[in-house]
């Protein structure tokens, strides 16, 4: 039996970038190659982390101080990594996560003004040097993303829209943050244009994955 460690791939980006759709498509494509794949999300991925998710993604936009949000996200992430992500990787599975630590860095560290250094220090305290093998950042104009997110929320009746309601300036800062993270960590991060149709975005994402992990194009 192979004891090769799995791969950890995260999809990041602002609201309405299409991460959830692309995660599902990516999981299906990897599964079709015979790869054991675990699909997960943040905040969430375990029962405890999902409970914390409810505190973060619903309610008034001013519900929490940004530092409180950061700590809540890392509380959820501790559960997620220890109970879902690392066990899957240890058995050789690939883990595909809709958001991970870069979201906390972007949302709270940059847009929430907690600061890069503070978030990085907390990450190191909680997770050491644990990072994804590949992070795909879905980028698109803020207005387009917010329109998509609003349309999705209206269709589903979801109340998980706390961050979506934080205003244009916050979301512009968020887009800038993700692009800056990609510049700072080019070996791990790839930016993919998410403004096209889902098929085009899926093809671009797969091209990055196939190249990185030597999979069929």
Q: Which two tokens stand for residue 17?
A: 């970038």
Using the Cα atoms of residue 65, residue 172, residue 182 and residue 140 in order, give the sign of their dihedral: positive
Is the distance from CB of 49 to CB of 79 less than 8 angstroms?
yes
What's the domain count of the chain? 1
2 pLDDT higher than 60: no
Tell me if 165 is assigned to some domain. Answer: yes
Tell me if 1 is assigned to some domain. Answer: no
152 pLDDT higher than 60: yes
Tell me if 160 is assigned to some domain. Answer: yes
User: Per the confidence metrics, is the pTM higher than 0.85?
Assistant: yes
Tell me if 31 is assigned to some domain. Answer: yes
Tell me if 2 is assigned to some domain. Answer: no
* Domain with 99 in it: 8-213
23 pLDDT higher than 90: yes
Tell me if 139 is assigned to some domain. Answer: yes
Q: How many CB atoms lie within 10 A of CB 51?
A: 13
pLDDT score at 12: 98
- 172: CATH: 3.40.50.300
Each residue of 81-99: pLDDT tens digit? 999 999 999 999 999 999 9
* More confident: 177 or 15: 177
* More confident: 125 or 149: 125
Q: CB-based contacts of 179: which residues, under 8 Å, 6+ apart? A: 137, 139, 191
Round to whole Å and give the CA distance between 36 and 116: 34
Indicate the average pLDDT of the chain. Answer: 94
Tell me if 3 is assigned to some domain. Answer: no
Cα 95 from chain centre: 12
- What whole-number percentage of the chain has pLDDT above 90? 84
């Amino acid at each position: 039996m192979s004891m090769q460690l799995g791969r950890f791939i995260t999809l990041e980006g602002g609201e309405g970038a299409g991460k959830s759709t692309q995660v599902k498509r990516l999981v299906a494509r990897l599964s079709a190659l015979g790869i054991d794949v675990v699909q997960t999300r943040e905040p969430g991925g375990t029962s405890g982390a999902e409970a914390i998710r409810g505190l973060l993604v619903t309610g008034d936009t001013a519900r929490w101080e940004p530092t409180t949000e950061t700590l809540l996200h890392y509380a959820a992430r501790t559960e997620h990594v220890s109970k879902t992500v690392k066990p899957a990787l240890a058995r050789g599975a690939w883990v595909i996560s809709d958001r991970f630590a870069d979201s906390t860095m972007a949302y709270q560290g940059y847009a929430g003004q907690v600061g890069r250094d503070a978030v990085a220090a907390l990450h190191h305290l909680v997770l050491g040097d644990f990072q994804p093998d590949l992070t795909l950042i879905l980028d698109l104009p803020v207005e387009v993303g917010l329109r998509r997110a609003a349309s999705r929320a209206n269709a589903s009746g979801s109340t998980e829209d706390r961050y979506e309601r934080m205003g244009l300036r916050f979301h512009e800062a968020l887009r800038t943050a993700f692009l800056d993270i990609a510049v700072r960590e080019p070996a791990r991060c790839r930016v993919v244009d998410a403004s096209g149709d889902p098929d085009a975005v899926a093809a671009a994402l797969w091209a990055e994955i196939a190249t990185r992990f030597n999979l069929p194009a």
